[in-house]
């Protein structure tokens, strides 16, 4: 018998999971969905099937996929849970058996189960496969049309450990570059890391292994045309701390930030570590080579949010928001420090770009943002666009009853110039407890929606999504 969900901030309001899967062939459209948009917007986020065991964390819910399929102005929608081993065993039992962030709280009946994760963080189309990702495990393959679960994908058994939820796809070669932390298969927590390359067909063709200066949550990484960059920042991990009843992950500013830079075609012995003050980054916007310099634009927090402090002190709410920040590394300088400069003072997260410019000098970036104090608790009520040439930031803002997801950029056509296209995001309307798909003209976001596709339920606050153009 399914038990009631506890009263937890990440299980109520727009965070609350939905308990159904559905197919809606014709969403009601307000305005117009541009006919150039032909394909699928896949989004994914945590949607626990049952009331959690022990303390819940937003990162710990079962992954649910939401697929908005756009076709000549029409929009259909489907949602499906990812049927991981965890999900299937819990579905049979009718209750939670796993505590994904603290396995010591797992039900004894699953003590020897080899879990394949919760696949709740990102969903990526590459090499003819749709992969649902969570950074603690290998990818989980999904049928791109039916959303049926196929199973873990380990690159023909070449991937022995986990994979980040934030791979980068090279716009020129089609290669997928990715990394892993906690990459020692013998230890749940370690400073061991891996860097991998898959060719455009999805074959794993190269792996490098190395040790970070300390073990930490490394949510994302950064690529340029010539380098890969690993930010090790002090959201530290400690099994000892967890065994003592503390948090497996905690903010520990007694440690500095270390940013590892390696030539893309180099090896781990080429890694150079730059050192800076403690700070935290979940997501970079983009990065590029500029002569002997590397420019990285990131959403940087003074302190990692969502986790306790390692020393037991209280988190400072004024430090729990991110702002767009530029890191500059001078590869020729005789120093291992780097320069930091805030680009804009808008509270921002979920940065994206026109991904035809991934790793390249670029002009436009997009992000979810908090406007006029709205959107507390990791909610955002605006979408921003920064023009890196003029430093101008344009914002489409909504009232506090609305919360937006990460905006995904889709070019108008494959040949359109940078930034000409649309932004797609889901928006939660707290007044009616329902969500809609928002379409903005990426060059005129202040003008508001071009079109909306209305759902009659909410899409719980999730993490990431990607566009897959229709394959004709
Ligand atoms: Fe992320």
- 83 CA distance to ligand 1 middle (Å): 21
Residue 75 CA to ligand 1 centre (angstroms): 26
With contact defined as beta carbons under 8 Å apart, do 123 and 140 qualify?
A: no
284 Cα–ligand 1 center, Å:
9
Q: Taking the mean position of all CA atoms in its chain, how far away is CA 346?
A: 20
Nearest to 191 by CA among 215, 209, 208: 215
Instruction: Quote the pLDDT of residue 54.
Output: 84
CA–centroid distance, 299 to ligand 1, in Å, is: 11
Does the pLDDT value for residue 457 go beyond 90? yes
pLDDT of residue 136: 95
CA distance 156 to 276: 39
Strands 257-263 and 293-301: unpaired
Are 85 and 116 in contact by the 8 Å Cβ rule? The answer is: yes
Cα–Cα distance for residue pair 308/299, rounded to 1 Å? 20
**Confidence band of 80 (pLDDT split at 50, 70, 90):** very high
465 Cα to the center of ligand 1, angstroms = 10
pLDDT (average), residues 309-326: 92
Task: Enter the DSSP assignment of 17.
Answer: P
Q: Is the pTM of this model over 0.95?
A: yes
CA dihedral for 188, 194, 197, 203, sign (positive or negative): negative
> How sure is the predictor about 324, in pLDDT bands with cuts at 50, 70 and 90?
very high
Ligand 1 centroid distance, CA of 109 (Å) = 31
Report whether 226 contacts 234 (CB < 8 A). Answer: no
Q: What is the structure's pLDDT at 279?
A: 98
- CA of 235 relative to ligand 1 center, distance in Å: 15
Q: What secondary structure letter does DSSP report for 313?
A: P
Q: What angle (nearest 5°) sits at the alpha carbon of residue 97, between those of residues 92 and 101? A: 140
What pLDDT shows up at residue 472? Answer: 61
In three-state secondary structure terms, 396 is: strand
Quick: pLDDT tens for 278-299: 999 999 999 999 999 999 999 9
β 449-454/464-469 pair status: unpaired
| Rounded-to-integer distance, Cα 414 and Cα 146, Å | 26
**Is the separation of the CB atoms in 369 and 393 below 8 Å?**
no
How are beta strands 272-276 and 464-469 bridged, if at all?
A: unpaired
Q: How far is the CA of 350 from the centre of ligand 1 (A)?
A: 7
Residue 378's pLDDT is: 67
CB 14 within 8 A of CB 428: yes
**CA 454 – ligand 1 centroid, Å:** 26
* Dihedral sign, Cα of residue 377, residue 382, residue 383, residue 388: negative
Beta bridge partners of 386: 365, 393
Query: How far from 323 is each of 152, 302, 391, 424, CA to CA, in Å?
Result: 35, 9, 14, 22
DSSP secondary structure letter of residue 154 = -
Of all residues in the chain, the percent with pLDDT exceeding 70 is 99
- The confidence band for 162, taking pLDDT boundaries of 50, 70 and 90, is very high
**What is the distance in A from the centroid of ligand 1 to the CA of 93?**
30
Query: Containing H/E element for 68?
Result: strand 63-71
Residue 277 has pLDDT above 70, yes or no: yes
pLDDT for 376: 63
Q: 363: which DSSP letter?
A: S
Distance (Å) from CA 462 to ligand 1 centroid: 10
Mean pLDDT of the chain, nearest integer: 96
**117 C-alpha vs ligand 1 centroid, how far in Å?**
16
Average pLDDT of span 147-170: 97
Over residues 328-340, the mean pLDDT reads 97
Start-end of H helices in 7-93: 85-93
Please report the pLDDT score of residue 363 as a whole number.
98
**What's the rounded mean pLDDT across residues 38-55?**
96
Ligand 1 centroid to residue 267 C-alpha, Å: 26
The lowest-confidence range among 39-43, 52-56, 139-143, 302-306 is 52-56
pLDDT at 374: 60
* Of residues 69, 102, 62, the one with CA closest to residue 83: 62
Q: So what's the pLDDT on residue 294? A: 98
pLDDT of residue 102: 79
Pick from 37-41, 126-130, 187-191, 280-284: least confident: 187-191
Q: How far is the CA of 283 from the centre of ligand 1 (A)?
A: 6
For residue 448, name the pLDDT band (cuts at 50, 70, 90).
Answer: very high
Residue 377 has pLDDT above 80, yes or no: no
pLDDT tens digits along 403-426: 999 999 999 999 999 999 999 999
Nearest-angstrom CA–CA distance, 313 and 310: 8
CA–CA distance, 143 with 137 (Å, rounded to integer) = 19
Distance 335 CA to ligand 1 centre (A): 31
> Which residues are CB-contacts of 406 (< 8 A; sequence separation ≥ 6)?
349, 350, 352, 368, 425, 463, 464, 465
Question: Residue 310 C-alpha to ligand 1 middle, in angstroms?
Answer: 22
Edge-to-edge strand list for the sheet holding 382-387: 280-290, 293-301, 323-330, 339-353, 364-370, 382-387, 392-397
Q: Taking the CB of residue 470, how many other CB atoms lie within 10 A of it? A: 11
Nearest to 329 by CA among 233, 254, 262, 270: 262
Instruction: State the pLDDT at residue 101.
Output: 80
* DSSP 3-state percent helix, strand, coil across the chain (nearest 5): 10, 40, 50
CB 357 within 8 A of CB 366: no
Q: What is the pLDDT of residue 46?
A: 98
The residues that bridge with 342 in the sheet, in sequence order, are: 325
- Tell me the C-alpha to C-alpha distance, in Å, between residue 258 and each of 79, 276, 344, 386: 39, 6, 23, 27
3-state secondary structure of 239: helix
The predicted pLDDT at position 358 comes to 98
Taking the centre of ligand 1 as the mean of its atom positions, its distance from the CA of residue 238, in whole angstroms, is 21
Mean pLDDT confidence for 338-361 = 97
Q: What is the pLDDT of residue 104?
A: 81
């Amino acid at each position: 018998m399914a038990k009631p969900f506890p009263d937890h901030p990440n299980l109520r309001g727009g965070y609350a999971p939905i308990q159904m899967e559905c197919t809606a062939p014709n969403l009601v459209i307000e305005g117009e969905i541009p006919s150039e948009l032909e394909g699928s917007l896949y989004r994914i986020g945590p949607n626990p099937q049952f009331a959690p065991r022990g303390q819940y964390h937003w990162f710990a819910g079962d992954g649910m996929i939401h697929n908005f399929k756009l076709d000549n102005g029409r929009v259909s929608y489907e949602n499906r849970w990812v049927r991981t081993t965890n999900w299937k065993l819990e579905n049979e039992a009718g209750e939670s058996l796993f505590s994904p962030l603290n396995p010591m709280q797992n039900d004894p009946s699953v003590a020897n189960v080899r879990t394949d994760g919760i696949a709740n963080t990102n969903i990526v189309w590459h090499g003819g496969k749709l992969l649902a990702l969570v950074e603690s495990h290998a990818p989980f393959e999904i049928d791109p049309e039916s959303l049926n679960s196929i199973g873990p994908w380990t690159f023909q058994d070449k991937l022995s450990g986990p994979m980040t939820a934030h791979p980068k796809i090279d716009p020129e070669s089609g290669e997928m570059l990715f990394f892993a932390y906690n990459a020692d298969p013998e230890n749940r927590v370690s400073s061991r890391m891996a860097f991998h390359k898959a060719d455009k067909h999805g074959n794993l063709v190269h792996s490098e292994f190395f040790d970070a200066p300390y073990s930490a949550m490394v949510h994302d990484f950064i690529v340029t045309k010539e380098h890969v960059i690993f930010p090790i920042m002090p959201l530290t991990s400690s099994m000892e701390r967890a065994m003592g009843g503390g948090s497996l992950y905690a903010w520990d500013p007694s440690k500095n930030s270390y940013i590892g830079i390696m030539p893309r075609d180099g090896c781990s012995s080429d890694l150079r570590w730059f050192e800076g003050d403690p700070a935290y980054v979940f997501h970079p916007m983009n990065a590029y080579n500029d002569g002997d310099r590397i420019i990285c634009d990131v959403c940087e927090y003074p302190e990692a949010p969502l986790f306790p402090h390692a020393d037991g002190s209280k988190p400072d709410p004024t430090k729990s928001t991110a702002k767009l920040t530029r890191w500059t590394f001078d590869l020729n300088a005789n120093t291992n420090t780097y320069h930091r400069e805030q680009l804009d003072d808008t509270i921002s997260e979920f940065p994206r770009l026109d991904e035809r410019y991934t790793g390249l000098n670029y002009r436009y970036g997009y992000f979810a943002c908090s406007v006029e104090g709205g959107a507390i608790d990791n909610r955002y009520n605006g979408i921003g666009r920064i023009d890196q040439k003029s430093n101008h930031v344009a914002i489409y803002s909504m009232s506090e009853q609305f919360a937006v997801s990460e905006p995904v950029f889709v070019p108008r056509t494959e040949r359109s110039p940078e930034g000409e296209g649309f932004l797609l995001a889901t928006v939660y309307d707290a007044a009616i407890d329902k969500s809609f798909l928002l379409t903005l003209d990426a060059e005129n976001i202040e003008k508001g929606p071009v079109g909306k596709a209305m759902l009659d339920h909410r899409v719980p606050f999730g993490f990431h999504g990607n566009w897959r153009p229709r394959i004709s």
